[in-house]
A and B are shown apart, each in its own frame.
Chain A
Amino acid sequence: MSKKRFNLPRFFTQLFFFALILMISVNKNLVEMGKGGIGFLSSASLHALCPFGGIVSIYQFTTVGTFVQKIHQSSFVLMFIVFAMAVLFGPVFCGWVCPLGTFQEWLGKIGQKLFGKRFNKFIPEMADKYLRYLRYIILVWVLYVIGISGKLVFQEYDPYFALFNFWTSEVAVTSLFILALTIVASIFVERPWCKYACPYGAVLGLTNLFRVFKIKRETSTCISCSACDRACPMNISVSASGVVKNHQCISCMSCTSDQVCPVANTVEMTTTKGGVSI
């Protein structure tokens, strides 16, 4: 009954951005070491290419007119691009672009092999439900400490920065520890950082409430096989809803009729009205 198609376009997009960020990070180091670097590639710092840098700079930019230390105008540009996409399609940045999300997903494949159906179901439902709000607390804390200090304090804890800079002296031990924790947790849970701790995911997740193109389930054709629920990396009960408005949806489209849903035109990303939201 259940079909499972490999989401080739998503895989290519994720691979492209993961490779791009990795190469830019290596290139920056090569340039700084005076080894020339790769000519056609940017040698910008990861901070300059992080859209979350734009979010944490908003307060300082509006009050002082400057960016938080290490953040540049490009972060603001990326923030607007990602936000425009999120308003239209939800957090596609999380599901299709973010290299840390991709990295966790790839590690999750090992977990799937090791634990089979138990993978991604280790955390008790009740605890999981509340833990998912932890990222909002982290978001408020990050905005507060950066707001009062004007410094990129989050770098000390950021596993994304650690992943692409672990070989440099710029990475704090705390962020390496959090990266290690994320790697281990990814074997048991799909995208643990995204689910429980990512402050940027918290911001983008809110667009699920009002996005233009929504994930919708056509109840009249649905055969209630729950294939969509099983496919969702974020453990959302798609089969219990008409319109997915869950703040954790990452718009990966794994649940759609183009991927796992066995009935055509039943679960889709669309602007069509109708359905009951969850």
Chain B
Amino acid sequence: MKIKPWTMGIIILVFFFAGIGSTIALNLWNTTSSKTPVKFTSGEYAGSYNPADIRGSYTLGEVSNLFNVPLEELGIGFGLNDVENLALFKNKDLEARYENLKEQGFEVGNGSVKMFVALYTGAPYILEDDTYLLAPAVDILKAQGNLTEDQLKFLEEHTIEFNGENINSDLTKNTGTPVEHAKENDEKVVKGNTTFQEVLDWGVSKDEIEQALGGKMPHPLTNIKDFCLKEGIEFSAIKNALQEKITP
């Protein structure tokens, strides 16, 4: 059997189109990560999405749809009045937008979105000491009237006055354009995309990690957050325990 150039060209196109087409039909063709957060499995919120699983790659539009938080309130709360297409603004871009705040030790990023959504919806959530909200976000939450005394007290100490000058000047011009930040995690901070291998590389032993987990460490390449969500462990608690071992 012989193959001619025209036949070869057709075979290649058939292989690609049939291959991709059949996997689309079988629901196996996936070019993005799943944007479905895990759900609470027990308690009052069983069956609802867990705000703790909101990822930096989510856009505000997706957060709004998944958690029923009005997009406008997310925009006002996070000081994004100048952003043209709010629905396409990615959570992770908040960190770059408020980089100057981060330099001063006040991080407004994906963690802030999680906290805002959790407090807005009243879902169970462990408040993290290194996460802050802008004053307009706190005002929205107070207006909702769902906050407990402890939460109000926490917010008093974790509110950043917002006057529009907090914005990183370079990103003020950002009109919803997500900027990819592929830089390495030089700060040795346990984040949503940190793997156990990275923690090992930062000098924490396997025994210390297992001590923090209270059980066996999975394969080193496993994402810590994914592991916590799968095992039903609160990520923030593990994150803090590991962070203490990295920077005692």
B42 interfacial by beta-carbon distance below 8 Å: no
A241 → B minimal CB distance (Å): 18
8 Å CB contacts to A: which residues of B173-214? 175-180, 182, 193, 195, 197
Tell which of B23, B28, B182 touches A155, judged by Cβ atoms closer than 8 Å: B182
- Given A44-B32, A89-B3, A148-B197, decide whether A34 and B182 contact each other with a Cβ distance below 8 A: no
- A237-278 vs B: 1/0 string, CB under 8 Å? 000000000000001010010110000000011111000000
Range, interface on chain A: 35 or more
In the assembled complex, the CB of B237 is this many whole angstroms from the nearest CB of chain A, namely: 22
The answer, among A16, A149, A155, for a CB contact under 8 Å with B197, is A149
Interface string of A33-68 (1 = CB under 8 A from B): 110000000101100110000000000100110100
| Chain A residues within 8 Å of B6, by CB | 9
**Considering the complex, which residues of chain A in the window 80-134 have a beta carbon less than 8 Å from any beta carbon of chain B?**
80-81, 84-85, 89, 92, 96-97
Q: Which of B19, B33, B88, B226 contacts A81 (CB 8 A)?
A: B19
Asked if residues A13 and B182 are in contact (CB atoms below 8 Å), the reply is: no
The residues of A that contact B3 with a CB separation of less than 8 Å are: 89, 213, 268-270
Given contacts A34-B88, A170-B180, contact A72 B30 (CB under 8 A): yes
Residue of A13, A42, A170, A253 with highest tally of chain B CB at under 10 A: A13
Report if A12 contacts B (CB, 8 A). yes
Query: CA–CA, A169 to B85, complex, Å?
Result: 20
Of B8, B31, B179, the residue contacting A89 (CB under 8 A) is B8
Our pick among B1, B15, B30, B33 for the contact of A84 (Cβ within 8 Å) is: B15
Q: How large is the interface on B (under 10, 10 to 19, 20 to 34, 35 or more residues)?
A: 35 or more
How many Å lie between the Cα of A270 and that of B4 in the bound state?
Answer: 9
A19, B173: Cα distance in complex, Å: 31
Contact residues in A for B88 (Cβ distance below 8 Å): 31-32, 34
Which of B65-73, B102-110, B112-120, B217-225 has 4 or more CB atoms under 8 Å from chain A? Answer: B217-225
Beyond A72-B33, A92-B12, list 20 extra A-B contacts (CB 8 Å).
A7-B5, A8-B5, A10-B5, A13-B13, A33-B175, A34-B176, A49-B31, A63-B221, A64-B218, A73-B28, A74-B29, A150-B197, A150-B221, A169-B179, A213-B1, A251-B8, A256-B5, A271-B1, A272-B1, A272-B2
Binding site for A on B (CB under 8 A): 1-6, 8-13, 15-16, 19-20, 23, 28-33, 84-85, 88, 175-180, 182, 193, 195, 197, 218-219, 221-223, 226
Closest 5 CB pairs of A and B: A34-B85, A9-B9, A44-B31, A48-B31, A81-B19
